[in-house]
Amino acid sequence: MADAVQLLLVGTSHRHAPIAVREQLASHAHGARLIESVIAEEAVIEAVGLSTCNRCELYMVGADADAMREAALRRLSGYARRSEQDLEPLLYVREGGDAAEHLFAVAGGLDSLVPGEAQILAQIRESYVHSLEMGSTGAVSNRLFHEAIEAGKRVRHETAIGRSNASVASVAAELVRERLGDLAGARVLIVGAGKVAELVAQNLASRGQVSIVVANRSAARAQALAERFDGRAAAFDRLSDAVAEADVVVSSTLSDGYLIGPGDVPAGRRVLVDLALPRDIDPEVAGVDGATLVNLDDLEEIVLRNIGLRQNEAEQAYAIVREQAGRFRSWLAALEVVPAITELRAQAEQIRRSELERMDGRWEHLTAADRERLDQLTRSMLNKLLHRPTVRLKELAEEGDAAQLAALSELFGLTPRP
């Protein structure tokens, strides 16, 4: 639809694309290049990118939804190193209020690998602020992401969705316990010192008397995290030595390539958990005798088996999401008829002024004060006459009644908007 505000989402997630595709997108989407390339497209006026371990999504605003979809597909296929024909089936597309409802559900943790996990809300806020600082946002995307953050907060405060404290880190720790059995005395290597690494260490420590070693490019950060669990730091440039000594290896960094390969892992019983995207551990490690390698996609099976939303909580959460999305739909619909309302009022104002000017020389004994009163009188009459048509235009837009909207526009002689 030309000359109208269009909101479009194009993206993929753990539910639609394998980890090999997601890591190609994530390796670029962490930076500004993807947004810069999309906002450079003529069809895209506003753009915000959301990139996490489990999803890569583009929220775009422009006048032509089809042109925006084609631009996003073209850019994403280049980053994914796949043809548009191969990538398109792995993507989902949402328009208008449906795009908003999807984002609000994501913000509420309802579309996460671990339902209800809280980290996604911080990631949404971070992605939005990043795009805001780049100057790629605007009136629609600003409103959209403010509403999304509000929806996420409401889901957490008004339902029990997030009270289980379930997270990717807790699921990973539970998987390690299942595979090794008794964790007492287990030697655990944590590669990375970010929030996920901290949560994994905390969850493993709570499940048994483990010995924790932390390796990170920043020796100071590694030492600080290790001390929290009475552990020690390992030299990052001797990572293979630390891997060889560990029973459990959990890696979560933002490295561009593999940190651990099959040559770094001696034969023997050990569990390696790769929570990074792009991946830190070469998939070939799975072939090492005695090694168990688990990545983000493998965790979904554990999640589906052990973690689920209680039906009542899910219904309450989705009710909040639908309510927030309904308000956004109304706002967006009203925004789309602003040009028509502006044109209607401009036409009426032109007629009012023209008639006052035509009668200007015919008044007898009309003082300046009288002229001001006459101007106010005609302006008030105009506003009252246009109030109902203005309200009805907004209502028809919210209802999606294109036929009546077109009829009302034709009745007032407004410019047709395809």
Tell me, what's the pLDDT at 2? 40
Look over the chain and give the mean of its residue pLDDT values, rounded to a whole number. Answer: 85
Q: Is residue 312 part of a domain?
A: no
| pLDDT beyond 50 at 1 | no
| pLDDT beyond 60 at 371 | yes
Tell me, what's the pLDDT at 401? 61
Tokens 């979809």, residue?
69
d(CA 335, CA 398): 10
Q: Let me know whether 125 and 48 are in one domain.
A: yes
| pLDDT beyond 80 at 7 | yes
Look up the pTM and report it. 0.72
Q: What is the mean pLDDT of residues 378-399?
A: 76
Tokens of 169: 């880190």
Verify whether residue 53 is a known catalytic residue: yes
Q: Let me know whether 56 and 15 are in one domain.
A: yes
Can you spell out the DSSP letters for 64-104?
A: -HHHHHHHHHHHHHHHHTS-HHHHGGG-EEEEHHHHHHHHH
Q: Is residue 257 part of a domain?
A: yes
Q: Is residue 349 part of a domain?
A: yes
Q: Is residue 327 part of a domain?
A: no
Tell me, what's the pLDDT at 117? 75
Tell me, what's the pLDDT at 365? 79
Strand order in the sheet with 55-62: 46-52, 55-62, 6-13, 92-95
Rounded (5°) CA angle 388-391-395: 130
The confidence band for 227, taking pLDDT boundaries of 50, 70 and 90, is very high
Q: Is residue 331 part of a domain?
A: no
Q: What is the mean pLDDT of residues 129-145?
A: 92
Longest CA span, the chain: 107
Kindly list the distances between the CA atom of residue 236 and the CA atoms of 195, 229, 232, in Å, as whole numbers in the listed order. 18, 19, 12
Task: Determine contact, residues 27/363, Cβ cutoff 8 Å.
Answer: no
Q: Let me know whether 111 and 67 are in one domain.
A: yes
**Sign for the pseudo-dihedral over CA of 213, 200, 16, 69:** negative
Q: Let me know whether 277 and 140 are in one domain.
A: no
Q: Choose one of 126, 159, 192: the last residue of a domain.
A: 159
Burial of 240 (0-12, 13-18, 19+ CB in 10 A): middle
Q: What is the mean pLDDT of residues 17-45?
A: 81
Q: Among 166-180, 257-271, 281-295, 313-327, whose mean pLDDT is lowest?
A: 166-180
Q: What is the mean pLDDT of residues 129-141?
A: 91
Specify the number of domains making up the chain: 3
* Residues whose CB falls within 8 Å of the CB of residue 194, separated by 6 or more in sequence, listed in order: 252, 253, 254
CATH of the domain at 85: 3.30.460.30
Q: Is residue 332 part of a domain?
A: no
d(CA 167, CA 27): 23
Q: What is the mean pLDDT of residues 262-277?
A: 93
Q: Is residue 321 part of a domain?
A: no
Task: Determine contact, residues 247/187, Cβ cutoff 8 Å.
Answer: yes
Tokens of 389: 């048509």
d(CA 417, CA 402): 10
Residues across the chain: 418
Q: Let me know whether 155 and 172 are in one domain.
A: no
d(CA 41, CA 68): 8
Task: Read off the pLDDT of residues 402-412 as tens digits, 9 standing for 90 and up.
Answer: 666 677 677 77
Q: Choose one of 159, 184, 218: the last residue of a domain.
A: 159
Q: Let me know whether 196 and 118 are in one domain.
A: no
d(CA 122, CA 195): 11
Task: Determine contact, residues 145/166, Cβ cutoff 8 Å.
Answer: no
Q: Let me know whether 153 and 210 are in one domain.
A: no
Q: What is the mean pLDDT of residues 343-365?
A: 82
Tell me, what's the pLDDT at 264? 95
CATH of the domain at 242: 3.40.50.720
* Residues whose CB falls within 8 Å of the CB of residue 275, separated by 6 or more in sequence, listed in order: 53, 168, 169, 172, 196, 200, 250, 251, 252, 295, 296
Q: Let me know whether 188 and 139 are in one domain.
A: no
Q: Which residues of 322-331 are buried (b: 16+ CB within 10 A; e: fewer)?
A: bebbeebbeb
Tell me, what's the pLDDT at 20? 86
Catalytic hit among 8, 38, 53, 67:
53
Q: Is residue 329 part of a domain?
A: no
Tokens 């003082």, residue?
367
* Domain span holding position 193: 168-306
Pairing status of strand 55-62 against strand 6-13: antiparallel
